[in-house]
A and B are shown apart, each in its own frame.
Chain A
Amino acid sequence: MEDKEINEKESLELITQMIQSTQHRFEKNSGGPFLIWGYLTTILSFTIWFLFKITYPEWGSKSYMWQYLWFILPVVGGISTFLISRNNEQAIRTYIDKVTKYIWLVFGIAGFVISCISMFLWSTPILFIILLIMGMATTLTGLVIKHKVVTVCGALGTLGSLSCLFISGIDQNIAFGISFIIMMIIPGHVLNRAAHNQKNM
């Protein structure tokens, strides 16, 4: 392309062509944040369940101290996400990127605040609440980026949150971990696969 004058028809064709070329793209490692938070949450969920099971009832109520391991999640997840986004050489940022960023910022902060309230102030069915809001955030992300797998997995995660209301005690962690596999790990890999396939097209 050069610095040359064009006629009105060529101008309109060029505008259409350039705008279309920015659509339907998945950046490399699009599923990265889903995978970081998905694997981290699932591993922590199963680890806390396991540690509780091998220490209860010998340790009595002290076994519930394992729940404080959940605070590893925002620290490791937050730092990893920050480092990845800082080093991510994203060629373009669209309005969709901006919307999804704000979705996760709002839902993430809400999840963290509710977790702190539940841990230190008064008890709430925290795993149900976290799964519900993260499922909603995943579903919204899927709808915004128009990706069926992400939308469906998010909706399944939201529905999966109900399981935490019917399962009592530490066994909720199992339902929670399985829900995160469906809700984040599967969509994360699918998004990365989509980005990989798009690159090879």
Chain B
Amino acid sequence: MFKNLDPLLHSQLRLAVMSILIAVEEADFVYLKEKTEATAGNLSVQIDKLNEAGYIEVEKSFVGKKPRTTCRITTLGRKAFELYVKALKDYIG
């Protein structure tokens, strides 16, 4: 079992979202949904969890008349992700 792994990141969908956000400056909800192939409802719940933990920032805006949700990783999130990857490497040896 992964006793030392961050439980917030140790979930398929949340880890996928964090992996995308670590590689870019920002990504919108539609892009995350397309890349993770998750349902809008489930993705929305997981984004809220990451946001509440302070791992990501969520910004709601409008492009023309269309609403847009943009996510970006925070310094705390980046640190947590790095620790998670380090812990994974330790497990693998």
Contacts and interface: CB of A to CB of B under 8 A. Distances in A.
Interface of A: 1-6, 8-12, 14-15, 17-19, 21-23, 87-89, 91-95, 97-98
B63 A89 contact: yes
Contacts of B36: 1, 18
A149 B42 CA distance: 42
Given A3-B42, A97-B25, A91 B14 contact: no
Chain B at the A interface: SS class: helix
Interface of B: 2, 10-16, 19-20, 22-28, 30-31, 34-38, 42, 45-46, 63-64, 66, 68, 85, 88, 91-92
Nearest to A10: B12
Contacts of B14: 3
A22 B15 contact: no
Nearest to B46: A3
A3 B8 CA distance: 10
A7 B64 CA distance: 43
A22 B12 CA distance: 17
B88 to A, nearest CB: 5
B37 to A, nearest CB: 5
A15 B12 CA distance: 10
B13 A22 contact: no
Given A2-B13, A3-B42, A92 B22 contact: no
Contacts of B15: 6, 11, 14-15
B25 A95 contact: yes
Given A14-B19, A18-B19, A92-B24, A1 B38 contact: yes
Contacts of A95: 24-25
Given A2-B42, A22-B23, A14 B12 contact: yes
A145 B2 CA distance: 39
Nearest to B7: A5
